């Protein structure tokens, strides 16, 4: 059995793989060992630098290949910063466009364009110091002629990915003692890119700024918790921990929740005696100090002051002073003291947090606790914000396909193996610490050894793993550390030593071989399996394409004043702020209670509310324009009950809390029948314009009349054809839609005849495919040649040329009953039966002219008339075609005109 004996006042040396004390080496051996350490450190550092830079270049190349970022327009580049990413980047742009830095800072501190009818301090409300810093650096450096501002911004973030990977590499190296583990961790980070990062398509997101510094902090804590550090090394480690914690807290609004999970892990280790008390105190103090410093820089942000982290850390420090001799006594006494200590810390934390929030009247994070309460089944809620989070897939449980992807790279198998072995060792060490008494002068014997650095990383991965399993969005905090933990475990002498001891195969040589052979084989396997895919991914070229949003931004810039106020969805308004600089009613930074109320008021355009009430709500926010999106009006991404309009109905008291039951306004099919509301009033226009060009409802609502060019497939213009859509709000339409269309001067698409125009209405499905809804044909006036060429049989009456005044249209009677004299035969009186048949020619000539009156309706009304001449066509058979079917027409000559009775013209 491997054992470590520690005596009071004596520091144990670093344990080797077999547990024996480090032998003393002669001077030549020490020099040789120092040389190999320096060489290993140099090579390992170079590999870490290369791994970080290659990852950064790889992600930047994916971003370029996916969007063709270097060749698209500036407005398209800005639109590619979706949702809140665009909002954050807009402040970087605002600082660069300011006449001076002083004007830029003043604009951020007294901003009245982010929220209409409000002046807010953006430096207090949001974590945008990184944008301020980058704008200052860009203006100071002489690079404006060589590097565009957007590239300076995105290259900085991709450069931080190099820091991120290097920090993960260093943590794995520190835990295992070999840089081979760091290389494996970096390789796993890249091959599991889908689950470890999303920087290539959400570049300005706050987590992409913060997580690299969080990884640096974890690496520094891992080094700080190693035993036998020199005082200078400890001070440098503490400085790194404080700096990285401060920058991490400054760049992400959710820093307090992340560090709270970290503090809970430290508290568990401290309570079990697996962490030196002095070092734990340092870590608690650094977290509180860094957070308070960030609070001061953010003009005493209330969300920071009311955070659970500050209350928890203060409670731990206070409870430690109140409860002395916590780690003395036998097993039962220590277990009882531990439970009492937990209860004291919990009660004190809740008390302090409640007192702070009551004193400062803080409500910034109440939506998070409502969401957690509803998520874990502590009662249904009508709260709009909580239900909005619950219905988002990102805040649901971690999908099972995530484990499938992690298994494909062998990461999950290695992680489960290392986690099982390390957790067993930790459990044995915890029981040993609880049952042993340090008052006896020694710590006794322990079958296994688990250092504080390994114990900390174990609690870190378990705590953030539980968080990721419960909330999918949090997996980006967990999966990178999974790469670190699994790689370090595969290279760890403790892990392989324990496994080989169980198998009764333990020798130092075997441990040394296995801890190097397994990672090398894993790297070789991953390289052979994923290298072709990586090359294919780098060679795949795409292009950013969103013409509708581009047109929206151009229309706003061209047709609205600079002072216009826009209302709409949070995600789209962030792009409006970035691309147009217009004032917003709401935006995606959802951490302010007042903003959440504003957003819910704006979203009433999609609820079952009368337009008058919605108009009053929007005008109260100062809105001049509202952007309606058919992706919300016709939402299909969420199931019924989770659509935005359903959540609003529940919040407005028109649905059941904890579930949504369809009411009489819901149709039985997949397409719901809408209840009266703003979207319903615009339903006809939205549906029509959607079939031609999605997401242009904004123009209909704003202009009432829109003229656009007609487009063929693949975006080509249909000649000079245009379509004009006019929207009219009819209050008494009872939910029915009436559409009228008219076309003029359409292009002729047939070669030898005139084409028959028709109109097709399509609906756009979720996969952007189109489904035909209705097809119609236009009414048209046909010429006589059309009837002849088409094989139509018509009713007609033949009269000699200039028979006298004709009756008005609609007053011609059937043959035999006409009030107008019938046609006169040559040299004879009018014949009343001549409307049915007439033979002969005038004066014996074959070129006589007559007026042909079309009587094509069942009521024998006059439909049309032609000046008709017959020529020398006798004896010729005419083959006419109608509707694709050929039929023989009777010969038409100079001597005879027959009447053919059919329905139609």
- pLDDT tens across 608-655, in order? 888 888 888 999 999 999 998 888 887 777 777 788 888 888 888 876
Q: Which helix (H) or strand (E) holds 237?
A: helix 231-251
Nearest to 472 by CA among 412, 373, 403: 403
Among 239-248, 317-326, 554-563, 708-717, which stretch is predicted with the lowest mean pLDDT? 708-717
Q: What is the pLDDT of residue 731?
A: 54
CA distance 81 to 79: 5
Higher per-residue confidence, 743 vs 21:
743
Q: How far is CA 314 from the centre of its chain?
A: 37
Q: What is the pLDDT of residue 655?
A: 61
558's CB contacts (< 8 A; 6+ apart) are none
Confirm if 585 and 618 have CB atoms less than 8 A apart: yes
Residue with tokens 């009587």: 855
Residue with tokens 């913060």: 210
568's CB contacts (< 8 A; 6+ apart) are 576, 585, 602, 626, 627, 628, 629, 698
Confirm if 51 and 165 have CB atoms less than 8 A apart: yes
Q: What is the pLDDT of residue 647?
A: 86
Whole-number Cα distances in Å, 377 to 371, 381, 390, 800: 10, 10, 11, 92
Q: What HEC string does 7-44 produce? A: ECCCCCCCCCCCCCCCCCCCHHHHHHHHHHHHHHHHHH
Confirm if 599 and 586 have CB atoms less than 8 A apart: yes
Residue 760, judged by CB atoms within 10 A of its CB (0-12, 13-18, 19+), counts as: exposed
Residue with tokens 């090359």: 535
Residue with tokens 């900390």: 456
Write the Ramachandran bin of 43: left for phi over 0, alpha for psi from -120 to 50, otherwise beta: alpha
Show the DSSP H helices in 148-196 as ranges.
149-176, 179-191, 193-196
24's CB contacts (< 8 A; 6+ apart) are none
Q: What is the mean pLDDT of residues 218-236?
A: 94
Confirm if 184 and 517 have CB atoms less than 8 A apart: no
Which backbone phi and psi does 120 adopt, to 5 degrees?
Answer: -125, 160
SS3 content of the chain, % helix, strand, coil (to 5): 55, 10, 35
Which backbone phi and psi does 775 adopt, to 5 degrees?
Answer: -130, 135
Give the pair of three-digit tokens for residue 612. Answer: 């008058």
CA distance 697 to 679: 10
Average pLDDT, the chain: 77
Q: Which residues of 141-169 are buried (b: 16+ CB within 10 A; e: fewer)?
A: eeeeeeeebbebbbebbbebbbbbbbbbb
* pLDDT tens string 419-433: 999 999 999 888 887
* pLDDT tens string 287-346: 999 999 999 999 988 888 888 999 999 999 998 888 777 767 777 888 888 898 899 999
231's CB contacts (< 8 A; 6+ apart) are none
Position 237 pLDDT exceeds 70: yes
Nearest to 414 by CA among 461, 482, 478: 482
Show the DSSP H helices in 436-507 as ranges.
452-470, 475-490, 493-502
Describe the crossing of helices 452-470 and 206-224 by its angle, rounded to 10 degrees. Answer: 150
Within 10 angstroms of residue 489's Cβ, the number of other Cβ atoms is 27
CA distance 702 to 541: 37
Among 14-18, 257-261, 802-806, 858-862, which stretch is predicted with the lowest mean pLDDT? 14-18
CA distance 265 to 275: 11
Give the pair of three-digit tokens for residue 658. Answer: 């904890």
Confirm if 516 and 178 have CB atoms less than 8 A apart: yes
* pLDDT tens string 882-891: 333 333 433 3
* pLDDT tens string 348-377: 999 999 998 888 887 766 767 777 777 776
Kindly indicate the confidence band of residue 517, based on its pLDDT and cuts at 50, 70 and 90: very high
pLDDT > 70: what percent of the chain?
A: 71
Kindly indicate the confidence band of residue 789, based on its pLDDT and cuts at 50, 70 and 90: low
Which backbone phi and psi does 62 adopt, to 5 degrees?
Answer: -60, -40
pLDDT > 90: what percent of the chain?
A: 44
Q: What is the pLDDT of residue 890?
A: 37
Confirm if 647 and 714 have CB atoms less than 8 A apart: no
Whole-number Cα distances in Å, 129 to 105, 365, 377, 619: 11, 21, 38, 33
CA distance 271 to 284: 14
Quote the strand ranges of 654-769, DSSP E: 705-711, 717-726, 758-764
Output the CA torsion 433→437→442→448 (10° steps). Answer: -20
How many alpha carbons lie under 13 Å from residue 216 in its C-beta half-sphere? Answer: 23
CA distance 882 to 557: 52
DSSP secondary structure letters along 766-791? TTS-EEEEEEEE---PPPHHHHHHHT
Confirm if 182 and 170 have CB atoms less than 8 A apart: yes
Beta bridge partners of 838: 897
Higher per-residue confidence, 535 vs 788:
535
405's CB contacts (< 8 A; 6+ apart) are 192, 194, 195
* pLDDT tens string 66-94: 999 999 999 999 999 988 999 999 999 99
Give the pair of three-digit tokens for residue 625. Answer: 């324009």
CA distance 423 to 450: 10
Among 254-263, 533-542, 597-606, 776-785, which stretch is predicted with the lowest mean pLDDT? 776-785
DSSP secondary structure letters along 739-760? ------SPPP--SSS----EEE
Show the DSSP H helices in 272-362 as ranges.
277-297, 302-305, 308-322, 331-360
Confirm if 899 and 836 have CB atoms less than 8 A apart: yes
* pLDDT tens string 141-183: 999 989 999 999 999 999 999 999 999 999 999 999 999 999 9
DSSP code of 82?
-
* pLDDT tens string 1-45: 333 333 344 333 333 333 344 455 566 667 778 888 888 899 999
- The highest-confidence range among 575-584, 647-656, 890-899, by mean pLDDT, is 575-584
Position 904 pLDDT exceeds 70: no
Higher per-residue confidence, 667 vs 741:
741
Q: Which helix (H) or strand (E) holds 222?
A: helix 206-224
* pLDDT tens string 680-738: 444 433 322 232 233 344 444 445 567 777 776 555 677 777 777 776 655 555 556 66
Q: What is the pLDDT of residue 87?
A: 94
Higher per-residue confidence, 491 vs 393:
491
């Amino acid at each position: 059995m491997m054992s470590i004996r520690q005596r009071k006042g004596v520091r144990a040396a670093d344990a080797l793989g077999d547990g024996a004390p480090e032998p003393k080496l002669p001077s030549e051996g020490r020099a040789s060992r120092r040389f190999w350490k320096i060489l290993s450190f140099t090579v390992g550092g170079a590999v870490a630098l290369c791994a970080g830079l290659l990852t950064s270049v790889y992600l930047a190349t994916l971003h370029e290949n996916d969007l063709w970022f270097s060749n698209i327009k500036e407005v398209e580049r800005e639109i590619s910063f979706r949702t809140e990413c665009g909002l954050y980047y807009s402040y970087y742009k605002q600082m660069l466009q300011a006449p001076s830095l002083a004007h830029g800072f003043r604009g951020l501190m007294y901003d009245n364009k982010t929220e209409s009818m409000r002046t807010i301090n953006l430096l207090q409300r949001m974590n945008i110091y990184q944008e301020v810093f980058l704008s200052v650096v860009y203006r100071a450096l002489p690079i404006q002629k060589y590097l565009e501002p957007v590239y300076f911004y995105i290259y900085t973030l991709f450069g931080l990915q190099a820091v991120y990977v290097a920090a993960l590499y260093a943590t794995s190296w520190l835990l295992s003692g070999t840089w081979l583990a760091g290389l494996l961790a970096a390789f796993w980070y890249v091959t599991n890119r889908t689950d470890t990062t999303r920087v290539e398509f959400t570049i300005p997101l706050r987590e992409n700024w913060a997580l690299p510094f969080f990884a640096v902090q974890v690496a520094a804590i891992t080094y700080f918790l190693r035993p036998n550090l020199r005082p200078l090394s400890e001070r440098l480690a503490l400085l790194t921990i404080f700096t990285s914690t401060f920058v991490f807290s400054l760049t992400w609004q959710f820093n307090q929740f992340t560090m709270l999970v970290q503090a809970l892990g430290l508290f568990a280790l401290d309570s079990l005696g697996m962490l030196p008390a002095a070092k734990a105190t340092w870590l608690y103090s650094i977290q509180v100090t860094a957070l308070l410093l960030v609070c001061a820089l953010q003009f005493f942000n209330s969300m920071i002051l009311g955070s659970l982290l500050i209350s928890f850390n203060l409670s731990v420090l206070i409870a430690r002073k109140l409860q002395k001799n916590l780690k003395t006594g036998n097993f039962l006494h220590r277990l009882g003291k531990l439970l009492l200590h937990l209860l004291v810390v919990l009660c004190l934390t809740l008390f302090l947090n409640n007192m702070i929030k009551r004193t400062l009247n803080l409500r910034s994070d109440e939506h998070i606790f409502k969401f957690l309460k509803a998520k874990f089944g502590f009662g249904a809620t009508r709260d709009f914000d909580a239900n909005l989070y619950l219905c988002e897939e990102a805040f649901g449980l971690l999908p099972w396909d995530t484990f499938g992807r992690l298994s494909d790279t062998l990461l999950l198998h290695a992680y489960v193996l290392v986690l099982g072995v390390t957790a067993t060792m930790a459990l044995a060490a915890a029981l040993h610490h609880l049952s042993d008494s340090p008052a006896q002068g020694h710590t006794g014997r322990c079958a296994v050894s688990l250092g504080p650095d390994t114990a900390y990383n174990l609690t870190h991965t378990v705590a953030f793993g539980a968080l990721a399993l419960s909330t999918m969005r949090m997996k980006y905090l967990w999966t990178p550390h999974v790469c670190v933990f699994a790689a370090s475990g595969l290279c760890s002498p403790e892990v392989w030593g324990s496994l080989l001891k169980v198998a009764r195969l333990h020798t130092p040589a075997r441990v040394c071989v296995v801890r190097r052979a397994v990672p090398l084989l894993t790297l070789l396997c991953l390289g052979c399996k994923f290298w072709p895919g990586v090359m294919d991914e780098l060679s795949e070229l795409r292009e950013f394409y969103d013409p509708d949003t581009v047109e929206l931004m151009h229309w706003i810039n061209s047709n609205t004043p600079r002072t216009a106020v826009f209302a709409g969805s949070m995600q789209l308004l962030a792009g409006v702020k970035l691309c147009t600089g217009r004032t917003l009613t709401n935006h995606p930074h959802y951490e302010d209670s007042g903003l959440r109320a504003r957003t819910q008021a704006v979203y009433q355009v999609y609820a079952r509310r009368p337009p008058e009430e919605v108009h009053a709500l929007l005008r109260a926010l100062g809105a001049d324009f509202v952007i309606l999106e058919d992706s919300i009006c016709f939402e299909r991404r969420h199931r019924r009950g989770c659509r935005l309009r359903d959540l609003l109905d529940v919040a407005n008291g028109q649905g059941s809390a904890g579930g949504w039951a369809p009411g009489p306004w819901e149709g039985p099919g997949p397409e719901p029948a809408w209840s009266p509301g703003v979207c319903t009033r615009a339903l006809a226009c939205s549906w029509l314009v959607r079939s031609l060009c999605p997401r242009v409802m904004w123009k209909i609502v704003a202009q009432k009349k829109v003229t656009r060019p007609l487009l063929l497939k693949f975006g080509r213009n249909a000649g000079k054809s245009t379509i004009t859509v006019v929207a009219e709000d009819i209050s008494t339409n009872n939910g029915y839609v009436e559409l009228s269309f008219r076309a003029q001067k359409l292009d002729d698409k047939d070669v030898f005849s005139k084409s028959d125009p028709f109109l097709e209405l399509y609906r756009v499905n979720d996969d952007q495919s189109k489904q035909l809804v209705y097809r119609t044909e236009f009414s048209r006036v046909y010429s006589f040649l059309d009837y002849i060429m088409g094989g139509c049989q018509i009713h007609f009456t033949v009269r000699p040329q200039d028979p006298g005044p004709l009756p008005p249209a609609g007053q011609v009677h059937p043959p035999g009953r006409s009030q107008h004299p019938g046609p006169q035969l040559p040299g004879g009186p009018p014949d009343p039966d001549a409307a049915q048949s007439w033979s002969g020619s005038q004066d014996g000539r074959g070129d006589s002219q007559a007026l042909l009156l079309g009587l094509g309706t069942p009521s024998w009304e006059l439909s049309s008339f032609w000046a008709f001449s017959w020529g020398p066509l006798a004896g010729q058979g005419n083959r006419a075609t109608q509707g694709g079917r050929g039929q023989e027409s009777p010969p038409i000559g100079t001597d005879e005109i027959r009447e053919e009775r059919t329905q139609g013209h």
